[in-house]
Structure 1
Amino acid sequence: MCVVSIKIPDEILLDLHEDKLQFEKYAKQMIAMDLYKNKKISLGYCATIAEMPKEEFIVLLGKNDISIFSFDSEDEFSEEVLNA
């Protein structure tokens, strides 16, 4: 497992009223959502980064207006609707 560290001034955590663990959780979720939104890695890997079950990660994506459905064209979307 790779470990990545970033330095955040204590004042920022104080301003946010968060402790290190809360901010770490937030950072992992934000990174995971960005990677998923930009189609860098799969939903499963992103859920792992966020340290959440896939179902919870999908809910998090929805709360942040990130869809798990991706269509390359309107025709592809229409075809998917017809096949549903």
Structure 2
Amino acid sequence: MKTVTLTIPDTLEMDNNEIAMLVAAQLYEQGKLTLGQAAEVAGLTKRTFAELLGKYNVSIFNYPASDLLSDVANA
């Protein structure tokens, strides 16, 4: 796994865990990480990560609505 160092202004009142969660949630939302990978980046279990996604306005269902409609039509 890669390690990234970020320089963030002191005025941004977020700790390292919050920043890791924010990055992991965005990468998960973009489909670049699986739920398990994103949870690992955030330093959390899959369950805890999934439960916190809503706080970051990220759906646990990581595929387009058009796919959902197609799945419902095929069911």
TM-score w.r.t. structure 1 length? 0.70
Which has more radius of gyration?
1
Identity %: 33
Q: Which residue of 2 aligns with 1:74?
A: 69
Unaligned runs of 5+ in 2: none
- Residue 19 of structure 1 aligns with which residue? none
Which structure dedicates a bigger proportion of its chain to helix? 1
Q: Which moved more, 1:22-31 or 1:66-75?
A: 66-75
Change in 2 beyond 3 A, CA 1:9/1:73: closer
Match for residue 51 of structure 1 among 37, 43, 52 = 43
CA-based RMSD? 2.1
How far does residue 79 in structure 1 lie from its aligned partner after superposition?
A: 5.1
Corresponding pairs, count: 72
Deviation for aligned residue 1:58: 0.4
